[in-house]
Chains A and B, each alone.
Chain A
């Protein structure tokens, strides 16, 4: 009696699990490219002679980063048929991690280029077909406004956490030349991050997992604040020789790294990379 109907159930369940696997795989690929892009951005910025005096290094990095992110955009375009209609909601948990990572990389590149936070609409616009028509799924993708929230957090917590410490240290390290300007740059970054953190606070009840990300952001913010503080205090000792200043910065940097490592051990389950969130 039931053999035929069970056959159709089998087909339905198989179709679902196959699509799910495909999306998870794609999401991992996207995560991979996005992470590489983030490293690329750091590398290009730090490679240049004097990145904090010269905006062209930032622009160059942003350009290369965006170039690399077109790979992600292509992948999304090829995925669009998988997520038609309400399927987007069905597979949201599978799509979301890669998407967050992509927005994180994109926002970093955007920050380097414009020194501002990328807006929702701007992210949306990057996910359009080459001819400018938004892919249908893209619109659906981003009605999930939560994504942007999550992205903003993960973008900044990450940049703030693991890399911003580095950024700030780089700022500090470059204090040898043009101390004042670098300090101002560090402080503007600090202000931007703390604004974002405050802005996002009001969204926490609405968005899934936002609480967790907020905690990470707060942590990062504190690190940047500490770094900025060190920079201010040390630079007041204006007659320090460059070598001494460099030593101070290095010891600060290694302290930071140790701390980060300890925290990572403690908060293994709090990692914001989301690799195991595919379940």
Chain B
């Protein structure tokens, strides 16, 4: 091969790996920033931002897990404690948007899409727990602090948003059971109505045989689980008459 051409290619690949952090010994990660050359250090940047985001989403999901053992009246306090972390995700996304070169969103997206989906899940769950409504894609973008003008670098795609919604339904099917255990018999009816509405929305999509379709299948089982809870509480006349009429009239 022509040595000049070879050098050129090597440079190009080097530049790319600056961002991707390829083949760098793990022990470097634990040494002090000052002991590393700037070029080595820059390799960690994208990975660092994503680790940062992961940390935040883990904290949020961990805290939100407590909804299964929290009485309905204390839920607002719990949700309020998570909100600041959700808002702080914006800073991380801003940092990512700075690092990613223009027009390369789809190239790097794989690296953070799981964390992003979890963040979406946290956002929509918080919204549901606050007032029982669905957070739209646009508002999710606003809450996570993802700006429209970054759309060629960092954006929330419809697919990732939908993945977040499916996680929400998965979580709500568990919540429906636990909320009954904690003595709130009206909640499952609201959850059931909300999830059915979402499911109707998902049924409008032409899904390919991909991960979204496979996860969409799980919605049916979640719905079944929620319906069983609704059946149980209605059969035993545990539901207050006002609540059941309200949900019926909504349909």
Contacts and interface: CB of A to CB of B under 8 A. Distances in A.
Interface string A145-160: 1101100100000000
A73 interface: no
Contacts of A25: none
B162 interface: yes
A86 B152 contact: yes
Q: Bin chain A's interface residue count.
A: 35 or more
Nearest to B206: A14
A10 B204 contact: yes
B201 A117 contact: no
A206 B22 contact: yes
Contact of A6 (B103, B152, B202): B202
A3 B8 contact: no
B159 A13 contact: yes
Contacts of B9: 120, 145, 148-149, 203
A107 to B, nearest CB: 11
Nearest to A140: B103
Interface residues of B, number: 38
A258 interface: no
B142 to A, nearest CB: 15
B12 to A, nearest CB: 4
Interface in B1-19: 1-2, 5-6, 8-10, 12-13, 16-17
Given A13-B207, A85-B103, A86-B105, A119 B201 contact: no
Contact of A85 (B16, B152, B205): B152
Contacts of A116: 2
Contacts of A278: none
B137 interface: yes
Interface string A140-176: 1001011011001000000000000000000000000
Contacts of B205: 6, 9-10, 13
Contacts of A196: 1
Given A2-B198, A119-B5, A89 B159 contact: no
A119 B2 contact: yes
Interface string B156-178: 00110110000000000000000
A136 to B, nearest CB: 10
A10 B106 CA distance: 20
A195 B208 contact: no
Contacts, number: 96
B16 A206 contact: yes
A95 to B, nearest CB: 12
B104 interface: yes
B134 interface: yes
Majority SS of interface residues in chain B?
Answer: helix
A199 interface: yes
A92 interface: yes
B146 to A, nearest CB: 15
B133 interface: yes
B107 interface: yes
Of B10, B12, B162, B207, most buried by chain A (CB within 10 Å of CB) is B12
Contact of A2 (B10, B159, B197, B207): B197
A121 B5 contact: yes
A90 B161 CA distance: 17
Given A196-B1, A205-B23, A145 B12 contact: yes
Nearest to A90: B106
Given A9-B158, A196-B1, A1 B103 contact: no
A72 to B, nearest CB: 22
A71 B155 CA distance: 37
A202 B22 CA distance: 13
B136 interface: yes
B134 A1 contact: yes
B204 A89 contact: no
12 contacts: A1-B197, A3-B201, A5-B136, A9-B162, A10-B206, A17-B206, A86-B103, A86-B152, A88-B106, A117-B2, A145-B16, A202-B10
Given A9-B158, A206-B17, 13 more contacts: A3-B204, A7-B204, A9-B137, A9-B162, A13-B208, A87-B106, A89-B104, A121-B5, A148-B9, A199-B6, A203-B13, A206-B13, A206-B16
Interface of A: 1-3, 5-10, 12-14, 17, 85-92, 116-117, 119-121, 140, 143, 145-146, 148-149, 152, 195-196, 199, 202-203, 205-207
